[in-house]
Amino acid sequence: MRSSLLLLPGPLPDAPRPTVDVVRVDSSAIVLMVAVFLASAVEMIEALTIVVAAGVSRGWRSALEGGAAAIVVLGVLVAALGPAIVRWVPINSLRVVVGAILLVFGLQWLRKAVLRATGYKPKHDENAIFAKQVEDLEGREPRSSGRDPVGFAVAFKGVFLEGVEVVIIVLTLGTTDHNLGLAALAAAAAAVIVAAIGVVVARQLAGVPENTMKMAVGLMLVSFGSFWSGEGIGVRWPGSDLAIPVLVALYGAVTFIVVRALNAQKARETRKVGRAELA
Amino acid sequence: MPNSRDGATLPARWLRAFWHFWWDFLVGDTPELFVAMLVILGVTLLLAKGVSTTAAWVAMPALVIAALVASVLRGRRAG
């Protein structure tokens, strides 16, 4: 549990600035690690689809180099921005801003996941994305014998754009919880595991339950967002950090009920349409 | 300073791209969630400062749930 010092309404004049890159494990750190890992895995699956499509159609060397270069740039962004944010932004302001961003971002993910789970929005189809990407790339000018700039650029752009969301999650969760090291480690672990699976199967990961992972990440982001923005504006959560898993459970229960209710309603509508067609 | 076809300078184009990125990221096709976040923080702040912190921590998750359900219902109608 964190000390009550962090729950005071404003920063103490003589309070030392919090440090980063100290790996601390408590209840909020565990939820943070899971959230960052799942978010990173979801985004890396999407990035992997693009890298594999570039590798298959334009050659593996350029595709892998493009993907690796993007990961290096993303790592530099985290390393440069993370400590600067913690050093220069007052903790309560950081919590309100980061909490607000996480709240909106988490609600967007959760909304999308609920609509996909209930069939009101089509699920993310990695097979279709892969096929379209290969078709687009094969239609471009023929690749040269050495490095292929098109393959490199497509892989770099795919990994970078998908990775920017991960960088924002790592920076927001990591800096606010003063656990940037743990957040970065969780994201890197997810990237390595997804890449390893990609190497083994050498194809897009269409079988991964991406929507379920997205729903779990959405729940955690909304919970962190509520907790930190609340703390930043003066809310004293009962149980301090223990409120985070309670919020995850509460939002999870509501999401479950909403999904069940919408599925039941959809089934009723389908039966009604079926009966009307028979009549 | 190099100009693009629309006459904007490089810093202006970067600023515009930066603004577009955050607009898409935070507002995008769900402006109701952005507005809900502002309302949630505003109401929670008023409760925390003017009523009690207990009222604030009870109200905040309730408002978040209301925002999620309203946005899902809006998305269902649109979908």
What are the residue ranges spanned by the domains of chain B?
Answer: 28-78
Measure B61 CA to nearest chain A CA, in Å. Answer: 7
Of B26, B60, B76, the CB nearest to A235: B60
Check CB contact of A230 with chain B, cutoff 8 Å.
yes
B-contacting residues of A 9-68, CB under 8 Å? none
Nearest CA to A155 out of A75, A77, A56, A40 is that of: A56
- Sign of the torsion formed by the C-alpha atoms of A93, B19, A108 and A165: negative
**DSSP character for B9?**
B
pTM above 0.90, yes or no: no
> For residue B30, what is the nearest residue in chain A, using CA coordinates?
A108
* Chain B contact set for A262 (CB, 8 A): 72, 76
* Chain B contact set for A226 (CB, 8 A): 60-61, 64
Mean pLDDT for the stretch of residues A7-34: 55
Query: Is A107 within 8 Å of B68 when comparing Cβ atoms?
Result: yes
Pairwise CA distance, residues A204 & A129, whole Å: 9
What's residue A21's pLDDT? Answer: 47
- Sign of the torsion formed by the C-alpha atoms of B22, B26, B30 and B34: negative
- Write out chain B's pLDDT in tens, 79 residues: 455 556 778 888 888 888 888 888 888 889 999 999 999 999 999 999 999 999 999 999 999 999 999 999 999 887 6
